[in-house]
Chain A
Amino acid sequence: MAWLSDFWSTYNTLVYSIGVHAMLALSIQITLSCGLLSLANAAFMGIGAYVSALLTLTLGWPFPAVLAAGTLAPALLALLIGAPVLRLSGVYLAMATLAFGEVVRVIVLNLEITGGPEGLNGIPPSTEGWHIALFLALTVYGLVRLARSRVGRAFEAIKEDEVAARLMGMDVDGHKLFAFTLGALIAGLAGALNAHYTFFISPREYGFESAVDILTMAVLGGTSGLLGPILGASLLTVLPEVLRFLQDWRMAVNGAILILVVLFLPTGLWDPHRVRAWLRRKRREEKA
């Protein structure tokens, strides 16, 4: 029992991070499922983190209100910038959203209220394990329902062929904006939760590097379903801790594992087609 409590005390932050990273990977999975390569999610996470942390530190709002504000603020912003930005597609959209992330980072860097490059410290640890578990479960549930709904089918159609979808009379722009905003909403919530268990936030955590990290989690796990991004986020979060015994070689081995996964499983860790094919083969072998 004492061992278990020590284990939990040691690794609870890591478990929290898995949950938060899973939410981030899902937030980019939504836009990807609609055929949008948006790299703005790190910035949306940052906005959620800063808005919530500032409300806690300066106005002393209660935690539920803080979470709500941290979730809604980036979603509102996504709604505003979405209309012009989403006219772009492919790499151009990636570049525009990346530029948006840089703009957010530089603004935060130069504002007085955000503490500039020194960031904000002394954020009370209000986030508890069950908050993250609950919100992750809600996110997954919502996305499962969404995938099976009219909107989900529309996302699929837009991803496969935008022109065909438009010709069939679908509101392509409306659906894209919805996916973009929903992604921002989830990323903002993840940011708000993250800020309230790490005591400290600074602009450099929400820059280019973390935008790429979030994309890597989703792509590594596989973007054809919801399980993929969660798997990818878990692996990328746990791997550096598991490899800690390797000491100096840790990050090199970490990188090597990622390269091997990408080389041998190019569609990601979790690919429903591959799993189904594998199950079929196994059944056939059993019969034979």
Chain B
Amino acid sequence: MTPMKPLLKSLAIATVILAAAPAGAANLRIGIAEALSGGAAQYGTPIRNGMQLAAEEINAKGGVNGNQLQLVIEDEQGKKEEAINVFKKLIFQDKVLMIFGPTLSNSMFAAGPVANASKVVAFGTSNTANGITDIGPWIFRNSVMESDVLPVTVASAVKHYGIKKVAVIYGNDDAFTKSGYDVFKAVLAEQKIPVTTTETYVKGDVDFKAQLTKIKGGEPDAIVCSCLAEEAANIILQARSLGLRAPFIGGNGFNSPKLFDISKLAGDGTFVGSPWSNANPAPVNQNFVAAYKKKFGAEPNQFAAQGYDAMYTAATALKSIKITDDLAADRQALRDALPKVTLNGATGPFKFRPAAPKAGKPGGFDADQKPFIYIIKGGKFTLYTGK
């Protein structure tokens, strides 16, 4: 026996221990900053649910390379200062690898720069406003922008109904409905569809008869509506009571099963585009829908599906990197791995698309995904597959 052997042996053991120590004990801390109270909770809560569901599934299957995902969930109330406070708590106090959220685009505009400056990934699943990913290279989102969905929605409706001219109605005091309107306007101009009249309302309005009477006067073939579900239900019902038979074309606010429960058959024939379809028969999606119903006792929606997919996207990126104990290096590695991820999730095939650099500054990453187009039949969302 040569004297070298025991030395080699102990070296080998030491290497094994060193290699095993971080892998065995490490928990991957992931921050979730969503609006869980206040008005935006209707979006934030399903997002959190979708993420919890995905994380539980991943952990049950042995985690990511043997490491368990550990979620640190905080409520940002849909307020910009709360979002900044929560982001800072997650980054500096909880020392998370990355953050999902916040829920509203406004909050992302406030909190995103904090994450970007601290070199931590902020991954939004519900931020559809323009300019979100201009904040910087650490900003990601898997929410499909209106400018990717609405051209397809409008084109499908135009083809289906042979639309020649449309009327437009939108809420002009809400960031979401206003930006949806801007996109509709551009899409209609691009597809050369004349607009008979453009009407507006403000949040909380319940009577739309004046606007709808004007719309009726223009005899449009369809009504384009950039509205939230609350107002949309009244608009649809009042349009029918005025004898306005033209079908509706809706923005993202129409993605609410509740809306067509309220409007009943009045909403039939409406065209809506969505990044997710309940009816998508892909096994991943059907498993997601079944698991969500079982865990939360409620139907999942688009926001839950995007949250669910976001967690799998992050897990895929985490799988491809080697976790060291150097937090800054791990955050950087995760940031570099994320853009390469492709996923076939509940929302269908997904990949990232780098945002165009603005004023020489590198941007973040947007979603590159095809939307699903629905037509409402019998008060239910039905996947539109052409005539």
Contacts and interface: CB of A to CB of B under 8 A. Distances in A.
Nearest to A116: B178
A198 to B, nearest CB: 5
Contact of B173 (A109, A122, A247): A109
A200 B178 contact: no
Most buried by A among B37, B85, B172: B85
B174 A121 contact: no
Contacts of B36: 248
Interface string B185-224: 0000000000000000000000000000000000000000
B167 to A, nearest CB: 21
Contacts of B114: 199
A241 interface: yes
A87 interface: no
B2 interface: no
Nearest to B79: A205
B377 interface: no
Given A118-B179, A119-B106, A202-B106, A13 B88 contact: yes
Contact of B80 (A118, A200, A251): A200
A199 B113 contact: yes
A98 B248 CA distance: 38
Interface string A1-30: 000001101111110010000000000000
A6 B92 contact: yes
A110 interface: yes
B46 to A, nearest CB: 16
B85 A13 contact: yes
Which interface class (under 10, 10 to 19, 20 to 34, 35 or more) fits A? 20 to 34
Contact of B109 (A11, A117, A200, A250): A200
A121 B80 CA distance: 12
Interface string B162-193: 00000000001111001100000000000000
A266 interface: no
Contacts of B178: 116-118
Most buried by A among B37, B89, B91, B106: B106
Tell me whether chain B's interface is mostly helix, strand or loop, or mixed. helix
A250 B92 contact: no
B175 A198 contact: no
B84 interface: yes
Contacts of B91: 9-10
B109 A119 contact: yes
A244 interface: yes
Interface in A112-167: 116-119, 121-122, 125
A247 B174 CA distance: 29
A109 B172 contact: yes
Interface in B41-77: 74-75
B261 interface: no
A75 to B, nearest CB: 25
B81 A17 contact: yes
A117 to B, nearest CB: 5
Given A199-B110, A202-B175, A205-B80, A251 B88 contact: no
Nearest to B38: A251
A233 B106 CA distance: 24
Contacts of B92: 6-7, 9-10
B109 A241 contact: no
B93 interface: yes
B305 interface: no
Given A12-B88, A13-B88, 19 more contacts: A10-B89, A10-B91, A17-B81, A106-B173, A116-B178, A117-B173, A117-B174, A119-B109, A122-B109, A198-B80, A198-B81, A199-B110, A199-B112, A202-B175, A203-B173, A205-B80, A250-B37, A250-B75, A251-B37
28 contacts: A7-B92, A10-B88, A10-B89, A11-B85, A17-B81, A109-B172, A116-B178, A117-B173, A117-B175, A117-B178, A118-B129, A119-B106, A121-B131, A122-B131, A122-B135, A198-B84, A198-B110, A199-B84, A199-B109, A199-B110, A199-B113, A200-B109, A202-B175, A244-B89, A247-B75, A250-B37, A250-B75, A251-B37
Interface of B: 36-37, 74-75, 80-82, 84-85, 88-89, 91-93, 106, 109-110, 112-114, 129, 131, 134-135, 172-175, 178-179
Interface of A: 6-7, 9-14, 17, 106, 109-110, 116-119, 121-122, 125, 198-200, 202-203, 205, 240-241, 244, 247-248, 250-251
